[in-house]
Amino acid sequence: MRVGADSRKTTNRRFVILALSPALLFLAVLIGYPLVTVLTDAFQDAHLVNPGVGGFVGLDNFHKVVSDPHFFPAVSNTLVWTIGSVIGEFVVGLSAALLLNRKMRGQGLFRVATFIPWLVPIVVAGMTWEWMLNPDFGIINSLLTSTGLVDSPINFLGDKEWAMSTVIFVNVWRSFPYYTISFLAAMQAIPDELFEAAALDGANAWRRFWSVTMPQLRSVSLIIVFIHLIWTAVNFDFIWVMTQGGPNYATMTLPILIYRYSLQQFDVGAASALSTIMFLGTSLIFVVYYRYRRRLSDEIVG
């Protein structure tokens, strides 16, 4: 930092506030109120169709949620679903970006092909996959059995053993393109000289990837991974469209449980309490993110 005059610091501060205010206004008006509602409802007896009850109930909602026999299985399902999806998305997304970043003919078409899944609305993607995966009239099982890859059709979404991996597989299919697009964009900022220097040092492609590409993708990876951890954890529509949490709770995650509390049982208090518990869980992710983010910023700004 230069020996700055106070005035520079003041204009700087004013600039910061000005630059942030539109974002803050949007968040305050549209997210602030729901957020406060969730946090207060968690301690209230809030019920949509049974308004006879009401008022402050302390930790009752939390007690109800935690003693629900589906709570702990849902926690572990949420972990499997979230971590499985994010690892799959990251690996496929990064591999695709590396392949698509090579200077070759026809890359434009391959890029469009790679991004198609991301363009298909989630509800449509979920319904179409469900249709294609059906054991009796789905095209995938029909292909698998006619080519002799499997003996009898697999009930992908109806079999407890298969359901979770299947929904993760479909989620990876739909979500990885965003990783690819972000990595591709970030790779543009890597100066060619870095690669040339590494090549001169005799580093092979594998070494160049680890010593040049990966460090430059740290910042974007950090954001993508952490935001997807949160998104996947709170994601509702994919599982809802494909399995509704079934078969027999095999894909029951916390957001589906929240949906059940709020829109099937109309118990907004319990739904809010469960969301508050999820806040605490996802906040742990935030702490880790915050530390890394700070370290990265320090490296950059100096």
Partner 1 sequence: MSITSQRRTGNAVSYVLLAILSVYTLFPFIWMVISSLKPREEIRARTPSFFIQSPTLDNFVRVFVEHNFLEYLRNSLIVSLAACALSLVISLLAGYVFSRNYRMRLVQGTNFGMLVSQMIPGVLLLVPLYITMRNLGLLDSYASLILAYTTFVIPLSTFMLSSAYDSIPMSLEEAAEIDGASRLKTLTHVVLPVMLPSIVSVGLYSFITAWNEFMFGYIFISTDSLRTITPALMLFKGANSVDWGGLMAGSVIAVLPVAIIFLFLQRYFISGLMSGAVKG
Partner 2 sequence: MKKKLAFVASVGVVALALTGCSGSSSADPKTIELWTSWSEGEATAETLDPLIQAWADDKGYTVNQTNFTYDQIHEKLIASAAGGNLPDVVWGLPEYVGEFSKLGILADVSDAWDSWGDADQVSDAVKSSMTVDGQVVGFPYETTARAYLVHDDLLAAANVQVPTTWDDVLAVGSKVQDATDSSFYGLTGAGVREPQELLVYLAQQGLSIAEEQDGGGFANTWNDNPDELAKATEVFEFYQDLLASGSVNENSATYGWEDTDENFATGLTASFVTGNWMAERETTNADTMGDVSVHPIPYPTDGEPATYIESKPIFTMANSDSLEASTELAQQFASEEWQTAAFADRSSLSSVSTDSKWSKDFAALLDTGVTYPPISLGEVTQDMIDALAMVLQDDQSPEDAAIWLGDAINEALETSGDAAGS
Q: Where along the sequence are the contacts to partner 2 (CB under 8 A)?
A: 17, 21, 24-25, 28-29, 32-33, 47-50, 52-53, 134-137, 153, 155, 157-160, 244, 246-249, 260, 263-267
Give me the residues paired with residue 56 across strands: 44
Q: Which does 112 bind (CB under 5 to 8 A by kind): partner 2, partner 1, none?
A: partner 1
- CA 302, CA 291: separation in Å to the nearest integer? 16
User: Does 214 help bind partner 1 (rule: CB under 8 A)?
Assistant: no
Contact present, 82 and 238 (Cβ < 8 Å): no
User: Does 152 help bind partner 1 (rule: CB under 8 A)?
Assistant: no
In degrees, to the nearest 5, what angle opens at C-alpha 80 toward C-alphas 75 and 85? 130
- CA 59, CA 279: separation in Å to the nearest integer? 16
Phi, psi of 74 (to 5 degrees): -65, -35
Q: How far is the CB of 225 from partner 1 (least distance, A)?
A: 11
Output 160 or 173, the one with its CB closest to partner 1.
173
Output 173 or 249, the one with its CB closest to partner 1.
173
Which alpha helices (H) appear in the chain, and where do they start and end?
A: 6-26, 33-41, 60-67, 71-101, 107-119, 122-133, 139-146, 160-187, 192-200, 205-208, 214-216, 218-234, 237-242, 254-259, 268-301
Name every residue whose Cβ is closer than 8 Å to that of residue 16 and which is 6 or more positions away in sequence. Answer: none
Output 151 or 192, the one with its CB closest to partner 1.
192
- CA 60, CA 158: separation in Å to the nearest integer? 35
Q: How far is the CB of 50 from partner 1 (least distance, A)?
A: 16
Judged by CB under 8 A, the residue of 209, 236, 249, 292 near partner 1 is 236
Q: How far is the CB of 250 from partner 2 (least distance, A)?
A: 9
Q: Which does 276 bind (CB under 5 to 8 A by kind): partner 2, partner 1, none?
A: none
Where does this chain touch partner 1 (CB under 8 A) — which range of 58-66, 126-134, 147-155, 157-165?
126-134
**Residue 159 Cα distances to 129, 165, 209, 223, angstroms:** 15, 11, 40, 35
Output 101 or 165, the one with its CB closest to partner 1.
101
Contact present, 61 and 43 (Cβ < 8 Å): yes
Output 176 or 240, the one with its CB closest to partner 2.
240
User: Does 103 help bind partner 1 (rule: CB under 8 A)?
Assistant: yes
Output 31 or 87, the one with its CB closest to partner 1.
31
User: Does 197 help bind partner 1 (rule: CB under 8 A)?
Assistant: no
User: Does 87 help bind partner 1 (rule: CB under 8 A)?
Assistant: no
